[in-house]
Amino acid sequence: MKRLLGQVAVVTGASRGIGRAIALALAGEGARVVVNYRESRERAESVVTEIRTAGGYAQATQADVSQTRDVDRLVQWTLASLGRIHLWVNNAGADILTGEARTWPAERKWDQVMAVDLKGTWLCSRAAAEAMRGDGGGAIVNLSWDHVAHGMGNPTAVIYAAAKGGVAALSRSLAREFAPAVRVNVVAPGWIRTEWLDGASVEIQERVKDATPLGRSGTPEDVAGAVAFLASPEAAFITGQTLLVNGGVVAS
């Protein structure tokens, strides 16, 4: 039985990687999925095509989650197109590990990650909860990082730890603020085979494997399964919690 049949789910940053896997998983559970993207409409439409080919429902729409005007437009577009919002997944994140962004000055990297990962999660959570509370409630799932509770000693990790640690902290407060109508939970991935890890050296990939009790790096589908669970009726009495998806690298 499909756990999210007919529900409307918005997934930010859903054109690739973990976001794509989440969109596919939610659609597989019967949700009508809004595939949000910031830049690549082509990639977003590819995700929509995958979902539709499998018999699901999806539409793509552009919005920069770090901008209030774009977030409001995304919410209103969803309500106008699909009637309401049952589920919102804040997956969008700034990539400062690959491409041109690797060469940016540290302060520019900091500003970008804070704007997208932290501010974007805050803006979207508030806008989504307002729509949900006025129409029967819903669930929000935010993406954090397992190492915010553990630490990692490099300059890039400091930036992500500050932003993703903020996501974990604000989610606990939002869970209390939005209760009882809206549940807010967090999924904190560890080493996941996204573009950066797939492009890393064999040595780094072996170190990740050796450091993981379950003996492998994670997949985007591993993360998507956790999100689908927290979105489902099976998690109806769970709010304000963080679920680590990391093969045991960091334990809570």
- Nearest residue to 65 via CA among 103, 94, 23: 94
**Domain range annotation of the chain:** 8-194+221-243
Q: What is the pLDDT of residue 196?
A: 65
Q: Does domain 8-194+221-243 have CATH number 3.40.50.720?
A: yes
Q: What is the pLDDT of residue 99?
A: 86
pLDDT one-digit tens code per residue, 71-106: 999 999 999 999 999 999 999 999 888 889 889 999
For residues 163-171, give the mean pLDDT. Answer: 98
Neighbours of 90 (CB within 10 A): 27
Cα separation, 173 vs 166, in Å, equals: 11
Cα separation, 78 vs 122, in Å, equals: 18
Cα separation, 223 vs 209, in Å, equals: 17
Q: Which residues of 114-144 are buried (b: 16+ CB within 10 A; e: fewer)?
A: bbbbbbbbbbbbebbbebbeeeeebbbbbbb
Does 37 qualify as catalytic in the annotation? no
Q: What is the pLDDT of residue 184?
A: 98
Q: Which of 110, 122, 145, 160 is catalytic?
A: 160
Q: What is the pLDDT of residue 197?
A: 67
Instruction: Give 182's contacts (C-beta < 8 A, 6+ positions apart).
Output: 129, 132, 133, 137, 138, 139, 140
Task: Please report the sign of the dihedral spanned by the C-alpha atoms of residue 217, residue 220, residue 221, residue 224.
Answer: positive
Cα separation, 45 vs 177, in Å, equals: 35
Lowest-pLDDT choice from 48-52, 129-133, 213-217? 213-217
Q: What is the pLDDT of residue 141?
A: 99
